[in-house]
Each structure stands twice: as C-alpha cells, then as structure tokens.
C-alpha cells in the first residue's frame, strides 16, 4: 500500500472507534468515498483485545477493509478520562495504569506497550503515545506534558525501530503528537523537538477548539509553521466543515471528527445549503432528497419525509442512511479541496 499518499493528499477519516463506523457495513463505508479510517487503541485494547485482533488476521481482515487504517495512541481518551477522574488509574513518567470501568481489569499503557498494541491491531499508521492535557492548564503542567510527550516519543520510536525494524521493515508509518496546550512557545518547542527526533507525521494534539467552540488557529499555525511540508500533518479532531477548510488553509492535510457520524445519528445533516434537522416537523411531507446535489444512496433513493418518519420511529435504517449522507458530504468537500490544492500547485 502506498502510504506516502497520506503526505500529499487531503484525507478525512471517519472514526471507526471499535473497528466499525456505527450503523455502517464496510461496503457502505466504501460507498461514501472514504479511503482512510481511524480506530481507537484504548477501546480495542479493552475489547476484543489486541491478541484477538492479531489472531483474526489484523483489523483490516477483521473488518474486510481495504483502505488505510490509522490508530490513535490511546493517549487522548485515556488521559482525559484519568485527569478528569472519570476512570480510576494513575499516570507517571512511565505511562498509565488503569482499571477498565466495566470488567475492572487492570491495564498498563506505556510508550512501548502502545506500539505493541497498535502493531497487533495491524494499523498502517501508528501514533506515538503522548501526555494529553486540557487546553487551559497552568504553564507548569503544560511544560510537564511537553517534556513527557517528547520522552515518550523517543521511547516509541526506539521501540518501533528495535522491535519491528521501523518504517522500512514494516511498511508502516509512525507519527507523533505535538502538545503544549495554549502556550505558543511550548507548541513551537514541542514541534521543533519532534522534528529533530524525526517522524513520518506530526499531529496537532490536545483540544482543537476553545471553551467557545472556536478553532485554536493560532496554536495550530505555530505547529504547522515548524513541521516539514512533505510529512503527514494531522489536525486531530477537526472538525466542522468550515474548520476543515481553515485547517487546509493553514497547511494541515488530515482530519477526523466524531461530529460527522454523531450528528447523523441525531438527525443533523450537512447539505450544500447548510445544516438540516431531519427530525423537524416541516420535513414530514417534504418529498425532496436530503440534498439534491448529493449522489449518496440516501439522496438518490429516498425523500426527507421518509427518513424523517423512520428517524421519529427509531428505525436504525434512518441512522445508516444519514451517516452515509454525512460522510459522503464530507468526502465530497475533501475531494473539492484536493482539486483546488492540485490546481494551485500546477499554477505555481
């Protein structure tokens, strides 16, 4: 698989958190134009477990998915759950030890085990474990998070190279996460140090929107200004269509958000005329498709009225159709932005 394409083209990756995009079969996922997905290391660690996935031939075989698979490091979710005390566990310089809330089993996530888990899952692009914090934290905490993230990045890279032969032997890519909360100088320092260590990609980590829901553009700019253009530049968790456009403008090329599928499940869809709420009563007799400019299975075959009726009655088919629609809308946006990018390059 040519993974270098991830460094050149724009991609939007739906979240297949537990190895599935909710309510879609893999074939339906492909029909939306999706070429890459991101799965959640922490969730897959707990169930079905990396050993089981490995025995099943890896995540791609398990899912019957021929596209690209990213795994996150497990850091973002775990550390936000532990820092907010929603989950029981401890974090120190070596990593995290935590208890799964359902079964009560004890797990250990260190830079080395994070790489081992991602290798067993069988993803194409791995992410080095980072120490993720809230955006608005004291400087001292942000400094500690950056230092730990850098130490762990080195340990991940060393382990990936020593145990598996690195990018050359595995045909996989290893990316890292830039931390630093909202301290611009720390973001810059973290980005520069990670570039010095050397990775296949640099991901903007932490929270991408502030308390008011606005994209943290200044922080994102400082990071992108300090990483090479010929590597993956992943804006993790971005975002709304207008934020993706801004992210592309800054120079990021990879995006993911739970919003697109979560909104679909709540009946909120993106169209060429803006946002539409399919549950609203004015849809009850509307024979138009969700978006007349969209070519997805939902818009080609069904009226707003029918989907509205199914949604109001809790029919899971409505969630499938709206997820297909929202993902198709996102992938069409990405395709348009890709074309514009290519045109700009050819004019230069």
Residues marked as catalytic:
72, 256
Q: Pick between residue 47 and residue 292 the one whose CB is nearest to Zn ion.
A: 292
Q: Minimum Å distance from CB 330 to Zn ion?
A: 11
Q: Angle at the Cα of 276 (from 315 to 292), degrees rounded to 5?
A: 90
Rounded least distance, CB 266 to Zn ion, Å: 17
> Rule CB under 5 A: is residue 304 a binding residue for Zn ion?
no
Site string for Zn ion, 255-294 (x = CB under 5 A): ---------------------------------------x
Cα end-to-end distance, the chain, whole Å:
29
**Which sign, positive or negative, has the C-alpha torsion 113, 117, 118, 122?**
positive
How far apart CA 173 and CA 114 sit, in angstroms, is 15
Q: Smallest distance, Å, CB 108 to Zn ion?
A: 44
Residue 109 in the binding site for Zn ion (CB under 5 A): no
Choose one: 106-114, 163-171, 304-312, 321-329; the region binding Zn ion (CB under 5 A).
Answer: 321-329
CA–CA separation, 288 and 172 (whole Å): 45
Residue 78, token pair as written in the block: 């775990």
Measured at the CA of 128, the angle between CA 125 and CA 132, to 5 degrees, comes to: 125
- In the complex with Zn ion, the residue whose CB is nearer, 216 or 324, is 324
Contact region with Zn ion (CB under 5 A), list: 29-37, 166-174, 258-266, 298-306: 298-306
Nearest to Zn ion of 231, 308 (CB atom): 308
Give whichever of 8 and 262 is closer to Zn ion, judged by the CB atom: 262
Cα–Cα separations (whole angstroms), residue 268 to 9, 113, 114, 326, 340: 28, 39, 35, 9, 28
Q: How many other CB atoms are there within 10 angstroms of residue 251's CB atom?
A: 15
64: alpha, beta or left, given left = phi > 0 and alpha = psi -120 to 50? left
Q: Are strands 95-99 and 89-92 parallel, antiparallel or unpaired?
A: antiparallel
Nearest distance from C-beta of residue 25 to Zn ion, angstroms = 17
CB of 78 to Zn ion, least distance (A): 35
Binding of Zn ion at residue 296 (CB under 5 A)? yes
Q: Which is nearer to Zn ion, 174 or 294 (CB)?
A: 294
Cα 11 to the center of its chain, rounded Å = 11
Smallest distance, Zn ion to C-beta of residue 296, A: 3
Nearer to Zn ion, 283 or 299 (CB): 299
Cβ closer to Zn ion: 178 or 321? Answer: 321
User: How many chain residues interact with Zn ion (CB under 5 A)?
Assistant: 5
Residues sharing a CB contact under 8 Å with residue 56, sequence separation 6 or more, in sequence order:
62
Task: Give the x-and-dash track for 216-245 against Zn ion (CB under 5 A).
Answer: ------------------------------
**Sole binder of Zn ion in the list 155, 201, 325, 332 (CB under 5 A):** 325
The correct pick among 299, 310, 319, 321 for binding Zn ion (CB under 5 A) is: 299
Non-local CB neighbours of 242 within 8 Å, separated by 6+ positions: none
- Which ranges constitute the DSSP H helices of the chain? 5-8, 26-31, 41-46, 50-55, 59-63, 75-83, 111-121, 139-164, 166-170, 184-197, 217-224, 241-250, 259-265, 297-301, 304-312, 316-347
CB 321 → Zn ion: shortest distance, Å? Answer: 8
Q: Could you list the residues that contact Zn ion (CB under 5 A)?
A: 294, 296, 298-299, 325
């Amino acid at each position: 698989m040519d993974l270098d394409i991830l460094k050149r083209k724009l991609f939007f990756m739906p979240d297949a958190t537990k190895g599935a995009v909710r309510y879609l079969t893999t074939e339906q996922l492909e029909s939306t134009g999706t070429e890459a997905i991101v799965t959640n290391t922490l969730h897959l660690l707990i169930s079905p477990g990396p050993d089981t996935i490995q025995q099943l031939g890896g995540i791609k075989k398990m899912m019957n998915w021929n596209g690209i698979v990213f795994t996150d490091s497990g850091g973002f979710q775990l550390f936000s759950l532990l820092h907010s005390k929603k989950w029981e566990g401890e974090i120190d310089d070596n990593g995290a030890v935590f208890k799964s809330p359902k079964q009560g089993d004890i797990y250990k996530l260190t830079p080395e085990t994070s790489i081992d888990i991602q290798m067993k899952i069988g993803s194409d692009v791995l992410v080095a474990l980072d120490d993720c914090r809230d955006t608005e934290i004291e400087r001292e905490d942000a400094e500690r998070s950056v230092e730990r993230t850098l130490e762990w990045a080195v340990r991940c890279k060393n382990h990936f190279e020593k145990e598996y032969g690195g990018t050359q032997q595995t045909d996989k890519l290893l990316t890292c996460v830039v931390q630093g909360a909202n301290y611009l100088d720390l973001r810059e320092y973290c980005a520069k140090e990670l570039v010095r260590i050397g990775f296949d990609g640099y991901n903007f980590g932490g929270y991408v929107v502030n308390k008011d829901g606005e994209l943290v553009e200044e922080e994102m700019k400082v990071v992108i200004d300090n990483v090479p253009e010929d590597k993956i530049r992943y804006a993790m968790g971005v975002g709304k269509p207008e934020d993706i456009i801004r992210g592309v403008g800054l120079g990021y090329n990879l995006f993911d958000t739970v919003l697109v599928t979560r909104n679909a499940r709540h009946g909120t869809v993106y169209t060429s005329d803006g946002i539409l709420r399919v549950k609203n009563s004015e849809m009850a007799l509307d024979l138009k498709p969700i978006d007349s400019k969209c070519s997805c299975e939902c818009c080609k075959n069904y009226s707003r009225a029918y989907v509205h009726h199914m949604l109001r009655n809790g029919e899971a088919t409505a969630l499938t159709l709206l997820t297909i629609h929202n993902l198709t809308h996102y992938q069409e946006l990405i395709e348009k932005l890709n074309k514009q990018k290519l045109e700009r390059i050819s004019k230069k």
